[in-house]
């Protein structure tokens, strides 16, 4: 059985959204016309009314937070954290043991065997709108278990309804519209032989049927169901060294192709900037110590490649991944910070699609409008079968960026003694710090 925490009530301050965003549809009919080659995504957007083929501007007003709204995010959470978030303890899980046993697989081809779909019913379902998942120790800052994941599914208020999502509806519409507009510009998309291997190399494999139902509501043609990575800072060529680290933007196909494509990218980053603001405010209140570590790293990152405004669009998570109606296989994110957290934000119009953690024996509902913080380098997970149109935005930072900070400051954001043995060995062998 999972151990659950208490429920209390306190005050709440309303966090409104911007009223400057016109309602935009996010459901796309699958009538076959979007499956032609070439301008697949542009046609998709024309069909949804998000792109006017006769208007070269095709601009829209993205959602924005006002100053008072941003202040209220942390204030509401601080006041209501005890009654908003339910503690769930995983009795058999010890984070320090997992850290000690973790391996450093440097190959992107490293795969974990996919669990069988028939095992999913035995997973404990965490259906709470807002929850903190902890290990079975008392090693956390508050004397409770170490935090493994945090789901924020609703507004920061007591007893919210299912409609009062953490990301307001007009904000969700803005994010979806911005993503569709960006896709219509045909940005560089990638394959992934680790997390999304069932969509690599052509046709979908039989394994895809275990993740996604066919049918109406999938707006992205089959050949385009993959992902897009955008890095403000990362080590060129996936460099794993800890000396002479050279950071760059990436991929070059997105940042450096031509002025028009760069403008499309920057417009999209402006659209998702409020998401950066929201997740950082939540992270700062929920995990203040780790937030401070991320902030220290961010302050050292040069503005050589990005102007101040562009750096702010990314914030403390310097990479973004857009996953477009493609299965997420059972995997870990090998390039993430070992003790850090990534953020997953689902978008679209879909049902089911739980996020499953076999090592924890749990699965979690993650509908549009919710936000999940998780230790993505230590917790293998996958997304179960869904029906409809499911996108997600993933915010993360590569360990190479933290290594850059260590090289420049000769300090480790996380104490070296708390890091996995393989990580400590990297620095001991190189006689660094």
pLDDT in tens, 291-321: 999 999 999 998 877 888 999 999 999 999 9
How does residue 330 score in pLDDT terms, banded at 50, 70 and 90? confident
Q: Is residue 198 scored above 90 in pLDDT?
A: no
- Read off the tokens for 347: 């978008």
Residue with the larger pLDDT of the pair 234 and 341? 341
Sheet holding 342-352, edge to edge: 3-4, 86-89, 130-134, 147-152, 371-374, 342-352, 386-396, 319-324, 227-235, 247-250
Q: Is residue 215 scored above 60 in pLDDT?
A: no
This model's pTM is above 0.85: no
Q: Is residue 418 scored above 90 in pLDDT?
A: yes
Q: For residues 270 and 314, what is the distance between their CA atoms, to the nearest angstrom?
A: 10
Contacts 24+ apart (CB under 8 A), 206-210: 207/114, 207/327, 207/329, 208/327, 210/114, 210/117, 210/327, 210/385
Domain residue extents for the chain: 45-226+253-397
In CATH terms, the fold of domain 45-226+253-397 is: Double-stranded beta-helix (3.60.130)
Which residues fall within 8 angstroms of residue 115, CB to CB, at 6 or more apart? 330, 356, 358, 382
Q: DSSP of 187-219, one letter per residue?
A: ---B--SSSSGGGSSSSPPGGGGGTB--STT--
Max Cα separation, the chain? 61
Q: For residues 248 and 233, what is the distance between their CA atoms, to the nearest angstrom?
A: 5
Q: Is residue 39 scored above 60 in pLDDT?
A: no
pLDDT tens profile 121-145 = 678 898 888 999 999 999 887 789 9
């Amino acid at each position: 059985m999972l151990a659950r925490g208490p429920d209390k009530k306190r005050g709440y301050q309303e966090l409104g959204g911007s009223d400057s965003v016109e309602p935009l549809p996010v459901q796309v009919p699958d009538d076959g016309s979007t499956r032609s080659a070439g301008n697949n995504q542009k046609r998709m957007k024309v069909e949804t009314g998000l792109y006017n083929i006769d208007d070269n501007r095709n601009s829209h007003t993205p959602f924005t937070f006002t100053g008072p709204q941003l202040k209220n995010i942390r204030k509401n959470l601080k006041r209501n954290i005890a009654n908003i978030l339910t503690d769930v303890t995983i009795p058999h899980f010890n984070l320090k043991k997992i850290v000690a046993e973790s391996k450093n697989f440097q190959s992107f081809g490293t795969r974990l065997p996919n669990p069988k779909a028939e095992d999913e019913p035995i997973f404990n379902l965490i259906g709470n709108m807002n929850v903190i998942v902890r290990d079975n120790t008392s090693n956390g800052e508050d004397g409770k278990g170490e935090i493994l994941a945090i789901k924020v599914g609703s507004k920061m208020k007591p007893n919210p309804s299912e409609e009062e999502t953490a990301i307001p509806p007009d904000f969700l519409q803005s994010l979806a519209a911005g993503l569709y507009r960006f896709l219509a510009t045909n940005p560089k998309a990638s394959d992934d032989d680790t997390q999304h291997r069932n969509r690599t190399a052509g046709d979908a494999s039989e394994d895809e049927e275990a993740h996604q139902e066919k049918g109406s509501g999938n707006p992205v043609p089959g050949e385009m169901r993959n992902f897009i990575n955008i890095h403000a800072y990362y080590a060129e060529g996936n460099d794993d060294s800890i000396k002479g680290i050279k950071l760059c933007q990436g991929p070059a196909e997105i940042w450096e192709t031509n002025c028009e494509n760069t403008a499309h990218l920057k417009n999209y980053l402006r659209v998702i900037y409020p998401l950066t603001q929201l997740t950082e405010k939540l992270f700062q209140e929920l995990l203040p110590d780790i937030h401070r570590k991320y902030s220290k790293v961010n302050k050292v990152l040069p503005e050589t490649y990005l102007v101040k405004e562009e750096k702010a669009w990314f914030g403390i998570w310097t990479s973004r991944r857009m996953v477009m109606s493609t299965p997420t296989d059972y995997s870990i994110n090998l390039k993430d910070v070992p003790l850090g957290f990534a953020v997953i934000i689902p978008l679209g119009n879909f049902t089911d699609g739980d996020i499953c953690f076999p090592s924890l024996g749990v699965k979690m509902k993650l509908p549009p409008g919710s936000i999940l913080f998780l230790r993505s380098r230590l917790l293998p997970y996958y997304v179960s079968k869904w029906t409809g149109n499911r996108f997600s935005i993933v915010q993360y930072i590569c360990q190479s960026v933290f290594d850059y900070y260590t090289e420049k400051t000769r300090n480790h954001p996380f104490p070296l003694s708390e890091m996995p043995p393989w990580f400590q060995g990297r620095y001991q062998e190189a006689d660094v710090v």
